[in-house]
């Protein structure tokens, strides 16, 4: 057996394995998505995402402080308005007193510069039809009118204290329009985290419960077809040309090839979003004792990092950060 290559030599002890580990997982690389809901007296559990809640402003501040203590890199905030406050154009989304903007002010006030405050810049939580934009006369989603609304949202979110705006609506030209809108009022320091490759995924199911979505139907006229790979490169190039500061791939686990494509080509940092359905699957299997929860969570996060994500959005951010500390 002389001359035989023996890769196991480097796997023999924990110290050897640690020495040669290629991929790191650190708290600063994790971003916690959070939900703040209007009209709650106390946090409300989300049935399909055990352990995740819709927050009140008070519980949001407390959970954000915990995330900061754990060392997470950022917090991405989603707003859940009262059902009766939704309308066709999602007016509450750009209202400074709307729940998302109030939440952002509370969050920014709580965490200061200790972590990065991110806002979801999309209309779907706020429209009565549940789409990520406004509708045209024919019932389809009107791209350019939707982008105008995103710009109004972006200005309110920047004013409320968001460091980065998560442009997640998948309308054409959204990143450039938001960038121009911010620059025009002197908000050159507010950045854009562009959801560059975002697929029409069945794994968003639990999120729709989390935000009380009103959507009937699907988002296939604006989110990407899971069958496609090449168009993610096109979306990436457009978002870079339009001024994206960070680009994102979403979902993560079913799209690791896309993540690698984007990471190989991007000139800006790359994020990936481990979405609600990914959270729910691991959580459900672990609840049944079918898989080891912590092992599965860490392995999934490592896989996403190994595929090329600098930053991972995950509902386990705070907990995982504690494990890694
Ligand atoms: C829509 C949006 C979605 C998610 C965040 N923002 C998807 C959708 O409803 O189509 C999903 C996040 C998750 O599933 O965790 N702007």
Residue among 55, 86, 219, 250 flagged as catalytic: 250
Q: Could you tell which of 127, 132, 209 is best to mutate to test the pocket of ligand 1, judged by most ligand atoms within 8 Å of the CB?
A: 132
Residue whose CA is closest, atom 3 of ligand 1? Answer: 204
pLDDT for 84: 97
pLDDT for 1: 62
Q: Could you tell which of 77, 133, 275, 277 is best to mutate to test the pocket of ligand 1, judged by most ligand atoms within 8 Å of the CB?
A: 275
Residue 168: CB within 6 Å of ligand 1? yes
Quick one: tokens of 291? 């898989």
Check pLDDT > 90 for residue 106: yes
Distance CA 302, CA 300 (A): 5
**Phi and psi dihedrals of 136, rounded to 5?**
-85, 175
Check pLDDT > 80 for residue 248: yes
Strands 53-55 and 44-45: antiparallel
Residue 275: CB within 6 Å of ligand 1? yes
Average pLDDT over residues 117-128: 98
Residue whose CA is closest, atom 7 of ligand 1? Answer: 204
Check pLDDT > 80 for residue 204: yes
Residue 276: CB within 6 Å of ligand 1? yes
pLDDT confidence bin for 191, thresholds 50/70/90: very high
Residue 207: CB within 6 Å of ligand 1? yes
Check pLDDT > 70 for residue 216: yes
Average pLDDT over residues 7-32: 98
Quick one: tokens of 316? 């386990």
Q: What is the pLDDT of residues 282-320, one digit of tens each?
A: 999 999 999 999 999 999 999 999 999 999 999 999 999
pLDDT for 190: 98
Closest-lying ligand 1 atom to the alpha carbon of residue 213: 9
pLDDT confidence bin for 325, thresholds 50/70/90: confident
pLDDT for 3: 81
Average pLDDT over residues 37-43: 97
Average pLDDT over residues 229-239: 98
Give distance in angstroms: CA of 207 to centre of ligand 1: 6
Catalytic status, residue 198 = yes
By C-alpha distance, which of 134, 147, 37 is closest to 82?
A: 37
Fold for the domain defined by 24-324: TIM Barrel (3.20.20)
Residue with the two structure tokens 């650190």: 26
Residue among 179, 187, 198, 305 flagged as catalytic: 198
Give distance in angstroms: CA of 323 to centre of ligand 1: 27
Residue whose CA is closest, atom 10 of ligand 1? Answer: 204
Check pLDDT > 80 for residue 2: no
Closest-lying ligand 1 atom to the alpha carbon of residue 122: 16
Residue 52: CB within 6 Å of ligand 1? no
Catalytic status, residue 62 = no
Domain residue spans of the chain: 24-324
By C-alpha distance, which of 159, 85, 152, 160 is closest to 122?
A: 152
Cα radius of gyration (the chain): 20
Strands 191-198 and 246-250: parallel
**Residue 51, by phi and psi: left (phi above 0), alpha (psi -120 to 50) or beta?**
left
């Amino acid at each position: 057996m002389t001359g035989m290559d023996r890769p196991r030599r480097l796997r023999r002890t924990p110290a050897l394995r640690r020495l040669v580990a290629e991929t790191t997982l650190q708290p600063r690389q994790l971003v916690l998505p959070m939900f703040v809901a209007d009209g709650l007296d106390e946090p409300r559990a989300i049935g399909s995402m055990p352990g995740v809640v819709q927050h009140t402003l008070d519980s949001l501040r407390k959970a954000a402080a915990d995330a900061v203590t754990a060392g997470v890199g950022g917090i991405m905030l989603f707003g859940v308005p009262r059902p009766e406050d939704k309308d066709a154009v999602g007016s509450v989304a750009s209202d400074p007193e709307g729940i998302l903007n109030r939440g952002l002010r509370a969050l920014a006030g709580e965490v200061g510069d200790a972590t990065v405050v991110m806002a979801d810049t999309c209309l779907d939580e706020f429209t009565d039809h549940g789409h990520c934009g406004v509708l045209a006369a024919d019932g389809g989603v009107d791209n350019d009118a939707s982008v105008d609304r995103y710009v109004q949202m972006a200005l309110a979110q920047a004013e409320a204290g968001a460091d980065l705006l998560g442009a997640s609506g998948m309308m054409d030209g959204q990143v450039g329009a938001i960038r121009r809108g911010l620059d025009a009022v002197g908000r050159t320091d507010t950045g854009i985290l562009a959801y560059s490759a975002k697929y029409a995924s069945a794994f968003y199911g639990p999120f729709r419960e989390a935000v009380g979505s009103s959507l009937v139907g699907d988002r296939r006229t604006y989110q990407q077809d899971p069958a496609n790979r090449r168009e993610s490169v096109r979306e990436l190039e457009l978002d870079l040309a339009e001024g994206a500061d960070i680009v994102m791939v979403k979902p993560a686990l079913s799209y690791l090839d896309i993540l690698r494509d984007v990471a190989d080509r991007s000139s800006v940092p790359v994020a990936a979003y481990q979405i609600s359905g990914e959270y729910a699957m691991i959580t459900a299997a672990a609840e049944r004792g079918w898989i080891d929860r912590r092992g599965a969570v860490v392995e999934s996060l490592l896989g996403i990092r190994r595929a090329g994500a600098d930053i991972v959005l995950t509902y386990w951010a705070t907990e995982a950060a504690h494990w890694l500390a």
